[in-house]
Structure 1
Amino acid sequence: MRRLLTPILFAAAWLGATSAMAEVQRFAVISSGENVGHLFVDQVGDTVDVDYHVDNNGRGPKHKEHLVLGADGMPRLWTIEGVSLFGARVDERFEQGDGMLRWRSQADSGELPAPAPSLYIANDDSPWSLALYANVLKAAPEQSLDVTPGGRLTLTAVRSQAFGPDALPVTLYRLTGLELQPGYVMLDDAGRMVAEFSGSQITVREGLEATAPELMRMTAALEGERIHALQTQLAHSFDAPVRIRNVRIFQPETGVLSALSSVTVFGDRIAAIVPEPDTPTAGGDYEIDGQGGTLVPGLHDMHSHSTLQTGLFYLGAGVTSVRDMGNANGFLLNLTRDIDQGVAPGPRIVRDGMLEGRSSYSVRTGLLADTLGEALEDVRWYGQRGYRQIKIYNSLHPDWVAPVALEAHRLGMGVTGHVPAFVTPDQAIEAGYGEIAHINQLMLGWLLQPGEDSRTTLRLTAMARAADLDLDSLPVRRTLALMRVKGVALDTTAVALEVLMLSRAGEVPPSAVGYVDHMPIGYQRYRRRSFVDIDSPAVDQTYKAAFQKLLDTVKLLHDGGVQLLPGTDAGTGFTVHRELELYVKAGLTPAEALSLGTLRAEQYLGRDQSLGSIARGKLADLFLVPGDPTQDINAIRHIRMVMKGGVLYFPSEIHQALGIRPFADPVVIQSPKAPEDTAAGAAGESFLFGEGMDDDHGH
């Protein structure tokens, strides 16, 4: 890891380091138009105290920070104490002095010699830290620095403008190198934070809360420009047939690989599949030598929450279809349109509509109903816009579940979701659920006591009780029988539960072992943390035993004929690979897991006539790996090319553009041979990463 070892001398007047004057900054945290927390920053001279508190959907970080800053604006001391998103304890400390850097956090600890100051990137920080980083980077050479404990942070001034009702002069900055997507922070002329707006949650100065929608539009516009430019750069289209030869095809109907074959794609469809050896490529065709690898139908994530940024991550992982399980509805409708028109990169999206009831624990996604009448009207709103299912959430009133399900069914929609608080899975199924979202929402029906509130983090922590669960008990057998009789499916998201139950401070969790060392440093550190409070070896072992019981439940459901829907509740695509690996760890074969993640998912959605397998006339959604995933499910991580509707992407190109170290070399594409080609050029032009693919070749 590179360290900043040379002196950096620059002013930091914004910090007030040379003044003992006290400054108090107050910010509101806004999610979906509602205040869900606060950020208080009190500064006296070079000392800063931060109070960050978020309570959104029954969870959120709550911690206090103390910083002592140097004249250069870099922290010399930084402590953070409190709890993280789901309540895991935070006790982070960084100290710089006597020529040494020392730090400890949930993710890591270490010490290094440091003859010059270095910028420390905190693991459990608040949005205010982006303002701190931005002010340091503004004065750095080329506004870029190597940082501690690793990586490089870069600042870009996006634009300056007047903001808010008082036309405050501000500058918008983009920070890259922290996470998988950029951070955005708005500073005034004195360098003080006005707003941080990196995701769906906005942190903005008190008094400017009404500007949150404008900030969201700014984020969408800035990220839209970036993502659309990447789509132009990374999507490769063809005006002639593309022949992928020397490949075996995974056949999800049987779970076996075909003999060596040649697959030709023209436009967005599979035009032909013939056995190898075949006749040479016809003049005017592109050719890809698959080198004996395996073509797999595009994967499906049956539980996503799509963003502008998730599209490229999904495509890079071979995920060509997702089911969005709840989103900002206007945004999702626009995103679906842009992807369908090829303006934005991303998988095909099936839309489910989130429906929540009003409570102090309400999620601020989708539609929020105060009365049964509003809930029914919300169902009709979704039905009129072509949503496939209604997704019921935690706070919907128990008495509303049956009438909501009835109205959804009347309009031809299915019903899925969390099991609302004080409702059992059996009651939800009897009321009209055709599917349950998340395996913990199913298992809590066997673990919670009457009156316990699943709107809190209990919906996670109570899963520890599964360690002692008897899967042959009457309640378990009764629920499984009901699911079989009613044809109820389960959207498992086992990987999300693995992250929450098996993550340990300072360790790479099992869910991320296959990919985390390829990721930016901020993401790597984020994954090396706990999400629940593990305060003893006994608690650690209890959660591990409980997760094994969860995997046993997956196998029990599969063997009992219950439809499993591989979902992740994440957006990187890498977690889709892990979800299928967990199915194999539970006892399914790799072929069974792959079938569930491809054809079986499309059969469930009623789209298997055009998607889910590689066959003549179907849409060309597929990816190529060098190994045999029916023998080793991990082979699906090493993807050389992906097609979605005949448009080709190189995962190596995608990952490099996103700051990720690639997982596999790309294929080489042989360009068409024109009839007038000389003998010397008859082999055609080959190119890597799309090089040589100019406008004449359909790029």
Structure 2
Amino acid sequence: MNGAAALALTAGTAQAAAVTEKLVIVQNGENIGTVTGTTDGASVSVDYYVDDNGRGPKHKENLTIGAGGIPTSWTVGGTSLMGGSVNESFKWEGGQASWTSQADKGAVPAAKAPLYVVNDDSPWALGVYARALLKAPGNSLPLLPAGTMRLVKVKATTLGAGKDALPLTLYRIEGVNLQPDYVLLDKAGRLFATFGGHYLTIRQGHEKEAHAIQALGAEAERALARDRQKALAHRYTQPVRIRNVHVFDARTGTLGGLSTVIVLRDRITAVMPSDQDPFGGNGAQPDDQVIVDGQGGTLMPGLHDMHSHTTLDSGLFYLAAGVTETRDMGNDNAFLQDMMPRIEAGELAGPRITPNGFLEGRSPYSARFGIIPETVADAVKAVDWYADRGYFQIKIYNSMTPDWVRPIADEAHKRGMTVTGHVPAFDTPDRCIRDGYSEITHINQLMLGWLLKPEEDTRTPLRLTAMARAADLDLNSAPVQATVKLMVDGHIAHDPTAVILERLMLSRAGVTPPGDVDYLDNMPIGYQRYRKRTFVPLKSPADDQAYVKAFGKVLETLKLLHDKGIRLLPGTDDVTGFTVHREMELYTMAGISPAEVLRLSTLSPEEYMGHGDLGTVERGKLADLVLIAGDPTQDIRAVKKPRLVMKGGAIYYPSEIYQSLSIKPFADAPPVTVPKVMEGPGDSLGAPGLFGGGHDDDLGD
């Protein structure tokens, strides 16, 4: 070999040793971020950048890959979703594994490197996990700091055809987060794509295949959701007799004496005092009905989340929490139009959905879903598109041009819709109300009107961080009182989502947030750690105290609005149901009675949306019902442990749902007796038990 050839070979070998892979993050057809990984032997460096609606994680990672594809070191540095600092590290050496993250830190003896789950991770991490799991016995590995991760092969597929054909394999990663993650690997085991929720991460150069990949992912997610619905929805052709319950009257805010409630499919056919129930005593029971023993608990109408963004996974979480209806405040329109009829038909689990049409303006900070009109004429046409499809309201977002609000609202009113939303950047709540809003979304959007200077831009994280200024806000000041008067005079409603403000403003690294205390220990390890982080930038102890004091002012504002007769619409901007419970609890912390909060969370939304068939437990009403053990009119926290939920003619047992989602249940199912003649295979017969419990005559004893 001559010198030139040797030099060329050496250069080629060096070039091959370092491989750079770039993926792009896509939302609603637009690129919002990148993931760039460079592998040089066992060393990997990753650059992760997301700019979604003015926010998103931005950090760098460095890994060393050891035996079995398991990292022996992993560092992450940068900022998280809302700008909070990230400085995470893991290392295995000398028979010991140690780690430090926002959530926790520790050190444990380890004969070999454990699979560490990164707290502030990126899509790249999913490829690392998948490759390690492929080499593990049973495609399963114990995790540090806790838990177990599993890899499930979903299907092999081919992208493209002929010489451009690219064989890929789709896998599902389970056991760490609330929802499974999906990854596509090529034949070499390299990451080609990940997806979940409304994001898609795909190898650069293949963006034209994004639609095909999203369709593949959607079908995989739907298949899993369909299987879970078949296993968890219990349907009966005969009456279901719920005995020994106290019925919550949402009109009066009181509990009645012991009663029996009878349901046939999806309608309530009887509500009667127990002493008038012909089968109420002496152990007597009809031999052709399903009997539920409420054991003295409370039967109430289903709860609502008046600020949701539906996902394929959200349905079971909502039902397990007793949430039987949501208002979707903005979504990928094609996804939602496909999803809603599937839920209505019983193919997929989920609450009833009332959709709002999302309109955003065009700017570098735009949210990438709903419709982003380029002109005011396009915005008016978008209103008509939503109206033709029966959407309840128009929701306006941060980047909308303030001068477009009035023509949008005029068209919405003409089409029988009202308008809600954020206060667009450089606009004010007062002007939005005058221009046609009938509701303001998010309590920070309302309060920022009293805190910001006219030139400040709320398309950025300022819409959160500026809330620290509320610490010294005078609620008796002229600006506050002027806005409140406008709301009272115009019958303007408010959707506070106070729980999300609490989560962000009071988030602190290594600490369980106050709103998560009652449920977090039951959750998968990845979600537990995700919640124990600082989302807001804190430069000093004074910043910390300002946020704490400011959130106290949020609660005072809630009480002020309620006392003035302004309709509050409990919502969360989340999809788990746990935050619905906390939103309700926050209202009681603000000084609103538990009984009134229950009314706000059951009957009041139905009145607001004109749904006369729901909201109370009465003969002829739809049987969207929740059974809990305690008395929520005395302690609102009782709603956090539903035992049985009915919706759409199906019975769900939260204990079963949580077991299927790798969550430790919070309450047992009530005793249920199914007549022997009705027992048998299939989800329309038999007693609950597909995720534990079997076909016993009495469940919960």
Give the shorter-chain TM-score range. Answer: over 0.9
- SS at the partner of 2:581? helix
CA RMSD of aligned residues (A): 1.7
2:648 aligned partner? 645
- Per-residue Cα deviation, 1:405-454 (whole angstroms, up to 9, x for no partner): 00000000010000100100000000000001111100010011111000
1:279 aligned partner? 278
- Per-residue Cα deviation, 1:122-177 (whole angstroms, up to 9, x for no partner): 11111011111111110100000001111100011211222146211111111001
Pair 1:534–1:26, CA change in 2 (3 A): same
2:47 aligned partner? 51
User: Is residue 190 of structure 1 aligned with residue 188 of structure 2?
Assistant: yes
Paired amino acid for 1:180 = L
Paired residues for 1:509-524 under 5 Å: 509-524=513-528
Paired amino acid for 1:558 = H
2:6 aligned partner? none
User: Is residue 99 of structure 1 aligned with residue 95 of structure 2?
Assistant: yes
The answer on whether the counterparts of 2:198 and 2:332 sit within 8 Å (CA) in structure 1 is no
Q: Which structure 1 segments of 5+ residues have no match?
A: 1-16, 676-684, 695-699
User: Is residue 559 of structure 1 aligned with residue 563 of structure 2?
Assistant: yes
Paired residues for 1:135-284 under 5 Å: 135-164=131-160, 166-277=164-275, 278-280=277-279, 281-284=285-288
- SS at the partner of 2:67? coil
2:616 aligned partner? 613
1:655 aligned partner? 658
- SS at the partner of 1:290? strand
Q: What is the rounded CA distance, in whole Å, between the counterparts of 1:536 and 1:62 in structure 2?
A: 22
1:680 aligned partner? none
1:295 aligned partner? 299
Pair 1:117–1:673, CA change in 2 (3 A): closer
1:72 aligned partner? 68
Paired amino acid for 1:611 = L
Paired amino acid for 2:170 = L
- Deviation of 1:686 after TM superposition, in Å, equals 7.7
Q: What is the rounded CA distance, in whole Å, between the counterparts of 2:485 and 2:477 in structure 1?
A: 12
User: Is residue 548 of structure 1 aligned with residue 573 of structure 2?
Assistant: no
The answer on whether the counterparts of 2:68 and 2:136 sit within 8 Å (CA) in structure 1 is no
- Per-residue Cα deviation, 1:330-371 (whole angstroms, up to 9, x for no partner): 111111101111111100000100001111010001001111
- Deviation of 1:671 after TM superposition, in Å, equals 2.0
Paired amino acid for 1:432 = G
User: Is residue 597 of structure 1 aligned with residue 593 of structure 2?
Assistant: no
User: Is residue 310 of structure 1 aligned with residue 308 of structure 2?
Assistant: no
2:121 aligned partner? 125
Q: What is the rounded CA distance, in whole Å, between the counterparts of 1:149 and 1:644 in structure 2?
A: 38
- SS at the partner of 2:116? coil
Paired residues for 1:460-609 under 5 Å: 460-607=464-611, 609=612
The answer on whether the counterparts of 1:285 and 1:673 sit within 8 Å (CA) in structure 2 is no
Q: Which moved more, 1:273-282 or 1:108-117?
A: 273-282
Paired amino acid for 2:133 = L
Q: Which structure 2 segments of 5+ residues have no match?
A: 1-12, 280-284, 679-685
2:461 aligned partner? 457
Paired amino acid for 1:219 = G
Paired amino acid for 1:36 = I
Q: What is the rounded CA distance, in whole Å, between the counterparts of 2:551 and 2:389 in structure 1?
A: 39
1:24 aligned partner? 20
Paired amino acid for 1:486 = G
Q: Which moved more, 1:434-443 or 1:532-541?
A: 532-541
The answer on whether the counterparts of 1:316 and 1:651 sit within 8 Å (CA) in structure 2 is yes
- Per-residue Cα deviation, 1:560-602 (whole angstroms, up to 9, x for no partner): 0000000000000111000000000110011111100000111
The answer on whether the counterparts of 1:670 and 1:687 sit within 8 Å (CA) in structure 2 is no
The answer on whether the counterparts of 2:631 and 2:638 sit within 8 Å (CA) in structure 1 is yes
Q: What is the rounded CA distance, in whole Å, between the counterparts of 2:262 and 2:557 in structure 1?
A: 41
2:628 aligns with one of 622, 625, 631:
625
The answer on whether the counterparts of 2:493 and 2:566 sit within 8 Å (CA) in structure 1 is yes
User: Is residue 339 of structure 1 aligned with residue 338 of structure 2?
Assistant: no
- Deviation of 1:307 after TM superposition, in Å, equals 1.1
Paired amino acid for 1:671 = V
Q: What is the rounded CA distance, in whole Å, between the counterparts of 2:272 and 2:158 in structure 1?
A: 62
The answer on whether the counterparts of 2:234 and 2:688 sit within 8 Å (CA) in structure 1 is no
Pair 1:261–1:33, CA change in 2 (3 A): same
Pair 1:686–1:658, CA change in 2 (3 A): closer
- SS at the partner of 1:59? coil
- SS at the partner of 1:250? strand
The answer on whether the counterparts of 1:668 and 1:687 sit within 8 Å (CA) in structure 2 is no
- SS at the partner of 1:159? strand
Q: What is the rounded CA distance, in whole Å, between the counterparts of 1:187 and 1:585 in structure 2?
A: 49
The answer on whether the counterparts of 1:200 and 1:216 sit within 8 Å (CA) in structure 2 is no
- SS at the partner of 1:552? helix
Q: What is the rounded CA distance, in whole Å, between the counterparts of 1:75 and 1:343 in structure 2?
A: 41
- Deviation of 1:204 after TM superposition, in Å, equals 1.1
- Share of identical aligned residues, percent? 55
Q: What is the rounded CA distance, in whole Å, between the counterparts of 2:470 and 2:363 in structure 1?
A: 28
The answer on whether the counterparts of 2:197 and 2:311 sit within 8 Å (CA) in structure 1 is no
Q: What is the rounded CA distance, in whole Å, between the counterparts of 1:291 and 1:595 in structure 2?
A: 23
- Per-residue Cα deviation, 1:369-413 (whole angstroms, up to 9, x for no partner): 111011111011001110010000011111100010000000000
- Deviation of 1:18 after TM superposition, in Å, equals 13
Q: What is the rounded CA distance, in whole Å, between the counterparts of 2:21 and 2:565 in structure 1?
A: 57
The answer on whether the counterparts of 2:197 and 2:312 sit within 8 Å (CA) in structure 1 is no
Pair 1:272–1:560, CA change in 2 (3 A): same
Q: What is the rounded CA distance, in whole Å, between the counterparts of 2:365 and 2:113 in structure 1?
A: 43
Paired amino acid for 2:209 = T
Q: What is the rounded CA distance, in whole Å, between the counterparts of 1:344 and 1:199 in structure 2?
A: 16
The answer on whether the counterparts of 1:18 and 1:45 sit within 8 Å (CA) in structure 2 is no
Q: What is the rounded CA distance, in whole Å, between the counterparts of 1:323 and 1:292 in structure 2?
A: 32
User: Is residue 440 of structure 1 aligned with residue 439 of structure 2?
Assistant: no
- Deviation of 1:282 after TM superposition, in Å, equals 3.3
- SS at the partner of 2:172? strand
- SS at the partner of 2:257? coil
The answer on whether the counterparts of 2:245 and 2:298 sit within 8 Å (CA) in structure 1 is yes
Paired amino acid for 1:279 = P
Paired amino acid for 1:422 = F
- Deviation of 1:514 after TM superposition, in Å, equals 1.3
The answer on whether the counterparts of 1:73 and 1:132 sit within 8 Å (CA) in structure 2 is yes
1:671 aligns with one of 653, 674, 686:
674
- SS at the partner of 2:372? strand
Q: What is the rounded CA distance, in whole Å, between the counterparts of 1:458 and 1:172 in structure 2?
A: 39
Q: What is the rounded CA distance, in whole Å, between the counterparts of 1:363 and 1:424 in structure 2?
A: 20
Q: TM-score, normalised by structure 2?
A: 0.93
Q: What is the rounded CA distance, in whole Å, between the counterparts of 1:612 and 1:530 in structure 2?
A: 38
Paired residues for 1:681-692 under 5 Å: 691-692=694-695
- SS at the partner of 1:27? strand
Paired amino acid for 2:274 = E
The answer on whether the counterparts of 1:18 and 1:46 sit within 8 Å (CA) in structure 2 is no
Q: What is the rounded CA distance, in whole Å, between the counterparts of 1:308 and 1:650 in structure 2?
A: 19
2:420 aligned partner? 416
1:6 aligned partner? none
Q: TM-score, normalised by structure 1?
A: 0.94
Q: Which moved more, 1:470-479 or 1:164-173?
A: 164-173
Q: What is the rounded CA distance, in whole Å, between the counterparts of 2:226 and 2:16 in structure 1?
A: 47
Q: What is the rounded CA distance, in whole Å, between the counterparts of 1:565 and 1:484 in structure 2?
A: 15
The answer on whether the counterparts of 1:19 and 1:45 sit within 8 Å (CA) in structure 2 is no
2:107 aligned partner? 111
